[in-house]
Amino acid sequence: MADYREAPLATRPKTLDPNEYFNLSPEQRRAEESRAALRAGLKRQYQLQLNDPHRKELIEDPALTRWVYARANPYPLFRATKKTSLLGVMFGVVPLFALYYVFKTDRDNKEEKIKAGTLERSFSLAS
Amino acid sequence: MLKILIPSMFMLLTTWTSPFKQLWSTILMYSFLVATLSLTWLAMPTDTGWFYINNYMAYDPLSSPLLVLTCWLLPLMIIASQNHLAAEPENRQRTYISLLISLQIFLILAFSATEMIMFYVMFEATLIPTLIIITRWGNQMERLNAGTYFLFYTLAGSLPLLVALLIYHSSMGSLSYLSLTSLPLTCSNLYADKLWWMACLLAFLVKMPLYGVHLWLPKAHVEAPIAGSMVLAAVLLKLGGYGMMRIMIILDPLTKELSYPFIILALWGVIMTGSICLRQTDLKSLIAYSSVSHMGLVAAGILIQTPWGFTGALILMIAHGLTSSALFCLANTNYERTHSRTIILARGLQMVLPLMATWWFLASLANLALPPLPNLMGEIMIITSLFNWSFYTLILTGLGTLITASYSLYMFLLTQRGPIPHHLILLEPSHTREHLLLALHLLPLLLLIAKPELVWGWTA
């Protein structure tokens, strides 16, 4: 049998804690039991696949599939908030204009120096 | 050259007439023969550099490395596709191979064209087999979206190119490469001339791809089957670079002023796409974004129009073609075992498949431009000529190199090192076919360390 432990960070529902059980109302207990039945069904499916001796492939995790799909297709999930708009402008628009300003002034200064004859060409390799 | 082109055309006939049991081995041997013959293109004894076969086809030190890369890639694509096509019916296998061969024929004609219209027609013609490969044989539903993006981005960029070429032809009379050097359109400050300049370059910038218009590339690379990814990454992107190099001649005086936005987009794209690579969960998507990053450097190197820039761009194109194709083959070995492209699902492979880890190591080192590989040579020449162009580019290119190194290392460490996840219970051992495939990718790269003059281009 493959090794199956509880998820270490998961909390136990209140109905499984003997100190709390009698404080709960019957509706809460019934709701808790139906949720536990659903969870047990999922666990059973997972364990059937985990211990199947003829299994060769990975067990499909739908949460992982959804996460990978969300990471691969971010555009439908994008929402224009103040934060995302600010980030978009800061990383996508401002650098282009800033770099244009930097390169243009640098190259224009170089062109003036060339025209005035004062450019010092210390970098003597072919370009 | 006809000894390579005519056999390639007849390879189409062989695909459909060979007996099915011997189809793959026949085609493989045939394409290896063509690839070996194509190595004769690298020998350039004449002084002029241009070798004319007839009035319409020629090759020179700029196009011969790309031609050899194209011919070398066909056997590699066939080795890579053999496994996933084995389940298909016979006619579909023959169709797939015919698509690959026709792609090679169009690419040979494109790289050896002596006239811009022929180059344009072949440039467009390569889109069709690639589109069919992506949308028919891709593995996920998203392949239709990927095919649409691929086709329409490239077409939207290249229709203005057709108009621009026809304008030039009607005013100058010829679009032959021989006459292009002596017939630039006269410089004027008319808005129409600036639009014409833009129209000439847009197709190649979309194909390269430049950072702002790169959206088709991750989709197309990820959704394509392995042979499609290989040919896209290795050769089709270089069509854009090669076209840009050829058309720069006629664009001359305007380029000094108008190229600034595109150099800036290319350099900023190196950093942005490199950073995106560090956040990817999909292995093929990581390799696709790293392709955009390297091609950004190539675009910047071409747009500054210096001899070293062109040389560096050409070397980086060849080296990146081989490296990127090798990385896609490695990602495919993972995909064939786990049927998933998610990186975290297949980790710690060094313990399970140690020989494949060697290839992962070499390919990752090549990707991060380790000396003495030609990747470094190309990058260093581009970075140096950009530094000469303006000192401040060093910040961007230096940061870009740092980010490239970090995501290449990230990819290697995440797939190879660390504990093996315990949900992986069956990983087939590495096939000899996979080892052969990767050896054939990395061997030319290692051999180019010894004689980079073969791929230097015109500045020999």
Tell me which residue of B371, B134, B340 sits closest to B233, measured CA to CA. Answer: B134
Q: Produce one character per residue of B333-362: b if its CB has 16 or more CB atoms within 10 Å, e if not.
A: bbbebbebbbbebbbbbbebbeebbebbeb
Cα→Cα distances B230→A92, B284, B294, Å? 30, 11, 16
B282 Cβ under 8 Å from any chain A Cβ: yes
CB-CB neighbors (< 8 A) of A57 in chain B = 338-339, 426
pLDDT tens digits for range B222-266: 999 999 999 999 999 999 999 999 998 888 788 888 899 999 999
Break chain A into its structural domains and give their ranges. 13-78, 79-120
Query: How sure is the predictor about B186, in pLDDT bands with cuts at 50, 70 and 90?
Result: low
- For residue range B88-125, list pLDDT tens digits in order: 999 999 999 999 999 999 999 999 999 999 999 999 99
Lowest mean pLDDT among A52-66, B282-296, B383-397: A52-66
| B123 within 8 A of B107, measured Cβ to Cβ | no
B410 in contact with A, Cβ within 8 Å: no
Q: Residues of B with CB below 8 A from A121's CB?
A: none
Residues of A in contact with B283 (CB under 8 A): none
The DSSP-derived string for B414-446 is HHHSSPPPTT----PPPPHHHHHHHHHHHHHHH
Mean pLDDT of B182-195: 77
Confidence at B139, pLDDT banded by 50, 70, 90: confident
d(CA B40, CA B51): 12
Percentage of chain B exceeding pLDDT 70 = 98
Candidates B264, B281, B285; nearest CB to A100: B264
Chain A residues in contact with B267 (beta carbon < 8 A): 99
Please report the pLDDT score of residue B230 as a whole number.
Answer: 94
Mean pLDDT over B290-303 rounds to 95
Q: Is 0.90 topped by the overall pTM?
A: yes
Q: Which of B260, B384, B385 is opposite residue A103, by nearest beta carbon?
A: B260
Q: What is the ipTM of this complex?
A: 0.86
B272/A72 CB distance under 8 A: no
From residue B158, how far is each of B110, B121, B152, B236 by CA, in Å?
A: 15, 10, 10, 14
pLDDT bin (cut points 50, 70, 90) of residue B17 is very high
- Region B365-381: mean pLDDT is 93
pLDDT by residue (tens digit) across B26-55? 999 999 999 999 998 887 766 667 888 888
For the residues B153-181, what does the mean pLDDT come to?
88
Would you call A72 and B340 a contact, using CB atoms and an 8 Å cutoff?
no
In B82-215, alpha helices (H): 90-111, 116-125, 127-137, 143-172, 177-180, 191-207
Amino acid A115 reads K
Chain segment B124-137, per-residue pLDDT in tens:
999 999 999 999 99
Say yes or no for a CB contact (<8 Å) between B339 and A58: yes
The C-alpha atoms of residue A73 and residue B456 are separated, in whole angstroms, by: 40
- Mean pLDDT for the stretch of residues B352-375: 93
Q: pLDDT means per 10 residues in chain A (127 residues)? A: 71 74 83 89 90 84 89 88 93 94 93 88 68
Q: Sign (positive/negative) of CA torsion B382, B236, B137, B143?
A: positive
Contacts of A72 in chain B (CB under 8 A): 222, 281-282, 285
The answer to whether residue B412 scores a pLDDT higher than 70 is yes
Which residue among A96, A100, A126 sits closest to B307, beta carbon to beta carbon?
Answer: A126
Lowest average pLDDT, out of B64-68, B251-255, B283-287, B385-389, goes to: B251-255
- Is the Cβ of A113 closer than 8 Å to some Cβ of chain B? no
Cis before B372 (ω within 30): yes
Nearest to B282 among A55, A58, A72 (CB): A72
Structure letter (DSSP) for residue B52: E
Residue-level pLDDT at A3: 67
Q: What pLDDT, on a 0 to 100 scale, did the predictor assign at position B55? A: 83
CB B31 within 8 A of CB B72: no
